[in-house]
Amino acid sequence: MTQAQANDGSLVAGIDSSTQSCKVLLLRAEDGALVEQASAPHPDGTEVHPDHWWNALETAGGGILDRAAAIGVGAQQHGMVALDEAGAVVRPALLWNDLRSAPQTAALIKEFGGAQATADSVGSVLAASFTVTKLRWLAENEPENAARVAGVLLPHDWLTWQLGGRRSAPATDRGDASGTGYFATATGQWRPDLLRLALGHDAELPLVAAPNAVVGRTGSGAVLSAGTGDNMAAALGLGLVNGDVAVSIGTSGAAFAVTDSPIADPSGLAAGFADAAGGFLPLSCTINAAKILDTTARLLGVDHQGLSDLALRAEPGANGLTFLPYLDGERTPNRPDATGVMSGITSSTTAADLARAAVEGLLCSLADAVDALGLQPRRILLIGGGAKSEAVRRIAPSIWGVPVDVPEPGEYVGRGAARQAAWALAGGATPPEWPAPPAERYEADVEPLVRDQYAQLRDASGL
């Protein structure tokens, strides 16, 4: 990383270190306007040595980070970065999407006292993505490596520590800490007893910094903010406030919101995370989202534009055709062995009906994810690759029952990390007020028939 003096106090940088790549954004601290951005890929796999993240950050950040007066890191949640007494990485990090710890997950929930007790303790019922389950896997499967573990960081913690030259103690934030499984989200305190239960011995944990804290400086003098997890950074980048729910349609789906109060859902459908600004971030996921559109387009022999055009030709309810889109199992609801179900096919069923049923099935599945949050949104912000579909945009409000705003495509994780950096640079009780991203609004009359049809099929198929 260049050591040139960071002397432009008007610019801040946000880093999005995701599973696939590292993106670096340079924005104006005053209003969040984008100045420059770059990216570099990460290697594939569900375990990756953190050095690969650092190499990608150096590549993407070259010529950008040295111009920033403050830097924030947003990164994939849950990843286990295990360090020895010298601060060296013990083994490649196990990422959120490494599910080898599923057996350990079930065992830990039982040891924590069951689903309700687990949710009460750490805000969420554990899933195999959570860091604590990976520590138990390490203890059971690589005991020599487990014995070497003296400290545990998350991906964003490790990158922030690297950016500061390891001169300050490692730090994290409430948002990312709340995805570990050994952090009491409601009180904002580590639960070292739970980490010890999983790993078999104590390990050092990073300082949990305040949302506006300065946790270090780069060699060139740039302020380092606390950083956060990717979903928390996206919420900050979108400017979510109470009453908003964001729905992301990627390969998988997610619904999340910012609230003033924590949740403790014993069903496990909603994770009770903290956010990056002092509040909370309940979040629910679906396994199937944009892949529903991909699969249906392939079966119909059309591209995504063709699928959208077909769907908009059909009437609401798709002529009685209903698609339960649990193609690869599902998480919300928890049906890991489920497959997709199509009901109501007749001799009058058309390609347009099939396309419409796919879009409606996707949106009904995501409506279930929104319902799992236990909130009544006043509007939904629709993001992700699936939000490009005109059919999805136009049909969504008729199923979700609230106005739907579609922000212009953008790197909202990086933007949120940069906004946090600007907050650390300026100080103050609240993050800087940046203009909301431009968005197109969609409204429509509610079509209750669609969700009724879907619910009947979902419940009848829930064996």
- Per the DSSP assignment, residues forming a β-bridge with 25 are 14, 37
* Residue entry with tokens 């079509």: 447
Instruction: Report which of 280, 246, 281 is spatially closest to residue 370, judged by C-alpha positions.
Output: 246
H-type alpha helices, 112-260: 115-122, 131-141, 143-148, 155-163, 174-177, 192-199, 230-238
3-state secondary structure of 241: coil
Bond prior to 333 in cis (omega within 30° of 0): yes
Query: Backbone phi, then psi, for 280, in 5-degree steps?
Result: -135, 160
Contact 80, 181 (CB under 8 A): no
Joined together, the tokens standing for residue 457 give 């099929």
Joined together, the tokens standing for residue 409 give 């495509």
Joined together, the tokens standing for residue 447 give 């079509």
Amino acid identity, position 255: A
C-alpha distances (whole Å) from 301 to each of 340, 353, 375 are: 19, 15, 39
Q: What is the DSSP string of 86-109?
A: TS-B-SPEEPTT--TTHHHHHHHH
Instruction: Report which of 157, 382, 175 is spatially closest to residue 258, judged by C-alpha positions.
Output: 175
Q: What is the DSSP string of 34-73?
A: EEEEEEEE---SSEE-HHHHHHHHHHHHTTTGGG-SEEEE
Note if 230 is an active site residue. yes
Extract the runs of DSSP E, i.e. beta strands, from 270-376: 271-274, 280-286, 322-324, 341-343
Residue 435, judged by CB atoms within 10 A of its CB (0-12, 13-18, 19+), counts as exposed
Instruction: Report which of 148, 150, 166, 149 is spatially closest to residue 158, judged by C-alpha positions.
Output: 166
Contact 80, 195 (CB under 8 A): no
Choice among 176, 230, 244, 265 that is catalytic = 230
16 contacts: CB under 8 Å, gap ≥ 6: 22, 23, 24, 25, 74, 75, 230, 233, 411, 413, 414, 417
Q: Would you please indicate which residues are annotated as catalytic (active-site) residues?
A: 230
